[in-house]
Amino acid sequence: MSETVFNAELQYQTAIFIAKNLRSQGLLTEEEYAIIDTKLQAEFGPSLGTLLSENDWTL
């Protein structure tokens, strides 16, 4: 894994961790969380993040 790919993955995982915490505290709805996850994936293009995403990509 290159340093660029690693950094993108790290940034995505850090940001999604924060979003998950906000969701668990009731500060984000499921819909808001899904939007954030989609935007973060578009921004960082994580290779592992797509596999671990809670979004339903079959819709």
HEC string of 18-56 equals HHHHHHHCCCCCHHHHHHHHHHHHHHHCCHHHHHHCCCC
Distance CA 47, CA 29 (A): 25
| Residue 28 domain flag | yes
Q: What is the pLDDT of residue 9?
A: 93
| Residue 11 domain flag | yes
| Residue 56 domain flag | no
Distance CA 36, CA 27 (A): 13
Q: What is the pLDDT of residue 58?
A: 39
| Residue 13 domain flag | yes
| Residue 31 domain flag | yes
pTM (predicted TM-score): 0.76
Give the total number of structural domains in the chain. Answer: 1
What 8-state DSSP symbol labels residue 17?
Answer: H
Q: What is the pLDDT of residues 23-45, one digit of tens each?
A: 999 999 999 999 999 999 999 98
Q: For the chain, what is the mean pLDDT?
A: 86
Q: How many other C-beta atoms lie within 10 A of the C-beta of residue 7? A: 12
